[in-house]
Structure formats: structure tokens, C-alpha cells
Amino acid sequence: MRTELLQPGPALALGALLDVPVPDLERDGLPLLWHWVYLLDHPAQADLGADGHPVRDTVAATPGRGRRRMWAGGRIRTAGALRCGEEATRRSTILSTKDKEGRSGKLTFVVVRNEVLQRGEVVVDEEQDIVYRDAGTTPLRVDEGAEVGAAGDEWSIDVSPTLLFRFSALTYNAHRIHYDRDYARDVEGYPGLVTHGPLQALAMAEAARARGCAGDQHFDYRLISPLFAHQGLIAKAEKTSEATTTSVRDRYGRVTATGQLR
């Protein structure tokens, strides 16, 4: 558990990073997913593994030396405004851990539940799906064809190493695949810096907010393929009478994340 007084600074920094409007943080509260820049763990440097993730005293800890961590998706339920100027508490638990065999070897699926409480009530109820795979340096190849420009209803974000570094700093995420190109390429086998899964989810949530989605929400999202910095990030939200579907693609049309907000 972790409790802190929510100050406006992190939200203002996130708004500046994404170049999106910041609401009245004390009256209207944080937009969907913006709680990710609050109530963060601050592990000691000695508690970090070679990849930059904590190896002890954290939820969830890597289930074995050298395992590679990936954010696979999650589910968010909000029940009211999470307001700055008040204390909030994050309560984290591991709901399940399952081992499976995949094409690349052993996979461990961990579901972490985070509840954010304010004024004695659960305001954000979240489940995060984390996957750990065995270490390996087999290069990950992604075919890139002709570029597909952003349409009028899409939002293109210039994903640069600077943006990834600033997002890592804002979320206190030391995973080296997001800022250390040599590590990402030579150790984990990626063709470049990896764009954060949470950044893609935030882009989808912000695309939905720009379409007028507000109030108490249920947001389910899935990260279906790695996205790399040199491939850009283009988000989209389509609103219907029943739900809002969201997606992220690269500049070549390859979809890397999907979501549904209702």
C-alpha cells in the first residue's frame, strides 16, 4: 500500500508531455489513466535488475532471473473523480500467476490488481496483465511497407527518444528498452527503442476524451504487438451509442493496441 497527497505537478507535466488540455484537477479530477503518474514505487537502485526493473519488494516481482517483462493489457473501472489536493491510497495485490508454453518458450502471466482509494472509497479499480518471457536475443522483425498518413479523425504523436525518456521519468519506469537503444537491440533483440504500453493506452484514452467521453468509465485495452519509436504512434477513437472503440497503429498501418471504453 502507498498513500500520498495528490499534487497537481505530475498531471501538469503529463499534459505538457502529450500536449493535451489539463482539467480543473481539484474540481473535475484526473482524466482516465492519469493516476499512472501518482502513487509510484521508488525502489532503491540496489533493488533493480539488469533490465532496470525491481527484482524485490515490488508487485509484481520478476519470477526468475533474466526473464523479459512485457505489459500486455488491462482493465480499468472508475467510480468518481480522483482529485488533487486530497490524499489517496493505492492498494496492490497479485490476483493470479500462470505459466504457459509459447512459441518463444516459457511464458508467465501475472495479473496485478491496483485499487486507488480516496475519501475511504475505491475510485479506480484496475487490473494489469503482465507477461514474462525467457531471455533470448532472436531479432524481432517487423515488416514495414508504404506509409499510411494520419486521417482527419486520427491523432499522430511524434515518438522521439526524448518523449520516451520523459515518459519513463514521469512514471518512474527504469525499463531500459525505452531509453537504452543498445540494450534494447543487443540484449532483448528489438530493432529500436520500444514505445511504452501505458503510453499507448494513454493515447487511446486521450483520443476518446477528445471525442467527448467523460464520467465514470470502464476501459479494457490490449497490447497486441510491440511498437517502436521510429514507427510513430497514431491513435484513434470511434464513438457509438454503446461504446467507444480505440486503437493505436504505426505509420505503416500495423495495429499495435486496441481498446474499448464504455
- Residue 90 CB neighbour total at 10 angstroms: 19
Pairing of strands 244-249, 255-261: antiparallel
> Residue 214: pLDDT band by 50, 70, 90 thresholds?
confident
Q: Is the pLDDT of residue 137 over 60?
A: no
Which of 29-33, 43-47, 120-124, 160-164 bottoms out in mean pLDDT, i.e. has the lowest?
A: 43-47
Which of 137-141, 229-233, 234-238 bottoms out in mean pLDDT, i.e. has the lowest?
A: 137-141
DSSP string of 32-78, one letter each residue: TTGGGGSS-----GGGB-TTSSB-SSSTT--SSTTPEEEEEEEEEEE
Q: Which of 218, 223, 248, 232 lies closest to 33, judged by CA?
A: 218
**Is-above-0.85 flag for pTM?**
yes
Q: Are 88 and 118 in contact (CB under 8 A)?
A: yes
Tell me, what DSSP letter sits at residue 48?
B
Separation between Cα atoms, residue 213 and residue 243, nearest integer Å = 10
Which of 55-59, 87-91, 175-179, 189-193 bottoms out in mean pLDDT, i.e. has the lowest?
A: 55-59
Separation between Cα atoms, residue 151 and residue 172, nearest integer Å = 33
Q: Residue 157 is placed in which grid cell?
A: 504523436
> Residue 141: pLDDT band by 50, 70, 90 thresholds?
low
- Please count the structural domains in the chain: 1
Q: Say what the pLDDT of residue 50 is.
A: 87
Q: Which has more confidence, 136 or 155? A: 155
Q: What's the CA angle centered on 37, arms 34 and 38, to 5 degrees?
A: 100
Q: Which has more confidence, 71 or 65? A: 71
Question: How many Å separate Cα 16 from the centre of its chain?
Answer: 17
Q: Say what the pLDDT of residue 106 is.
A: 85
> Residue 140: pLDDT band by 50, 70, 90 thresholds?
low
Q: Which has more confidence, 172 or 141? A: 172
Q: Say what the pLDDT of residue 138 is.
A: 58
Query: CB-based burial of residue 137 (10 Å sphere; 0-12 exposed, 13-18 middle, 19+ buried)?
Result: exposed
Q: Are 194 and 165 in contact (CB under 8 A)?
A: no
> Residue 64: pLDDT band by 50, 70, 90 thresholds?
low
Q: What is the CATH number of the domain that holds 245?
A: 3.10.129.10
> Residue 69: pLDDT band by 50, 70, 90 thresholds?
confident
Average pLDDT of the residues in 202-221: 90
Q: Is the pLDDT of residue 169 over 90?
A: yes
Q: Is the pLDDT of residue 111 over 70?
A: yes
Separation between Cα atoms, residue 208 and residue 226, nearest integer Å = 22
Q: Which has more confidence, 105 or 73? A: 73
Write the single-letter amino acid at 17.
L
Give the range of the structural domain holding residue 192, as residue numbers without chain letter. 2-261
Phi, psi of 144, rounded to the nearest 5 degrees: -125, 115
How much helix, strand and coil, in percent to the nearest 5, is found in the chain? 20, 35, 45
Q: Are 27 and 34 in contact (CB under 8 A)?
A: no
Q: Give the SS3 label for residue 172.
A: coil
Average pLDDT of the residues in 68-96: 94
Mean pLDDT of the chain: 91
At which residue does the C-alpha cell 468509465 appear? 217
